[in-house]
Amino acid sequence: KKLGVALVGLGSYSTYQLAPSLLDTEHCYLAGIVTGTKEKESVWQEKYNIPKENIYNYENFDTIGDNDSIDVIYVVLPNSMHAEFCIRAAKAGKHVICEKPMAVSVAECDAIINACNEHKVKLSVGYRMQSDPYTHEVKKYVREKTFGDVLFVSSDAGYVSKGNPDQWRLNKKLSGGGALMNMGVYAIQTSIYGTGQNPISVSAQEFSTRPDYFMDTDETITAQFKFENGAVAHMMTSHNANGNRLKCHCSKGWFELDPAHSYGPISGRTSNGDVLKFPHKRQQALQMDDFAKHILLDSKNLAPGEMGKRDMIIVEAIYKSIREGGQEQLLSLGDLGIVV
Q: Is 293 a catalytic residue?
A: no
**Number of other CB atoms surrounding residue 273 within 10 Å:** 6
| 10 contributes a contact to ligand NAD by CB under 6 A | yes
Edge-first strand listing for the sheet containing 72-75: 55-56, 28-34, 3-8, 72-75, 95-98, 123-125
| 79 contributes a contact to ligand NAD by CB under 6 A | yes
Give the residue at shortest CB distance from ligand NAD: 11
Q: Residue 181: name the closest of 37, 82, 62, 250 by CA.
A: 82
Q: How far is the CB of 79 from ligand NAD (least distance, A)?
A: 5
| 159 contributes a contact to ligand NAD by CB under 6 A | no
Q: How far is the CB of 147 from ligand NAD (least distance, A)?
A: 28
The span of 20-28, 76-84, 207-215, 296-304 binding ligand NAD (CB under 6 A) equals 76-84
Q: Residue 81: name the closest of 109, 103, 106 by CA.
A: 103
| 161 contributes a contact to ligand NAD by CB under 6 A | no
- When the beta carbons of 189 and 197 are compared against ligand NAD, the nearer one is 189
| 13 contributes a contact to ligand NAD by CB under 6 A | yes
Q: Residue 58: name the closest of 44, 80, 45, 77 by CA.
A: 77
Candidates 4, 32, 126, 243: give the one binding ligand NAD (CB under 6 A): 126
Phi (first) and psi of residue 149, to 5 degrees: -75, 140
| 77 contributes a contact to ligand NAD by CB under 6 A | yes
Q: Is 48 a catalytic residue?
A: no
Residues 165-194 that bind ligand NAD (CB under 6 A): 168, 174, 182
Phi (first) and psi of residue 4, to 5 degrees: -90, 125
Q: Residue 322: name the closest of 126, 184, 134, 121 by CA.
A: 184
Applying CB under 6 A, the site for ligand NAD has a residue count of: 19
- When the beta carbons of 187 and 250 are compared against ligand NAD, the nearer one is 187
| Secondary structure class of 338 (helix, strand, coil) | coil
Distance of CA 324 to the CA centre of its chain: 27
Residues that bind ligand NAD (CB under 6 A): 9-14, 36-37, 76-79, 99-100, 126, 128, 168, 174, 182
